Amino acid sequence: MRPGAILETAIYATDLAAAKAFYGGLLDLPVIAEVPGRHVFFRVGAGVLLVFDPEATEVSSANPALPVPVHGARGAGHVCFAASRAEIADWRERLVVAGVAAEAEFDWPNGARSLYVRDPAGNSVEFAEPRLWD
């Protein structure tokens, strides 16, 4: 038995409003849950992108019905969104027009294309062709 998919992934940002503007506004991901000062969650296909304020996730849950253990990270994380080569070009244009600089863009040895940018919290955001991992 082994896991069949990643259901959710988490990154951390102290400015949740800026994260919401980037992921919900610029990337147009639907917000599915939000607790001001603690987190904002976005739907990404069948999965979920969790954006937490790292300080808030270091505090134990006060809700006995949801005893989520404390967790968190500090510093820049990474998330990668699947995109076709044409979509990567479109993302680059959309992001640059919005003032988000492309940090790197290249083809991997197997020919898959990747584009890297930074979100407002400094997390590394990649758009890559799914064949990157073939």
Measured between alpha carbons, how far is residue 88 from residues 9, 32, 117 in Å? Answer: 21, 25, 12
Count the helix, strand and coil residues of the chain and give each as a percent rounded to the nearest 5. 25, 30, 45
Q: Which two tokens stand for residue 33?
A: 């849950």
Q: N- to C-terminal Cα distance for the chain?
A: 22
% of the chain at pLDDT higher than 90: 83
Residue located via tokens 């954006």: 51
pTM, to two decimals: 0.94
- Domain 8-61+73-133 CATH class label: alpha beta
Mean pLDDT value across residues 50-62 = 91
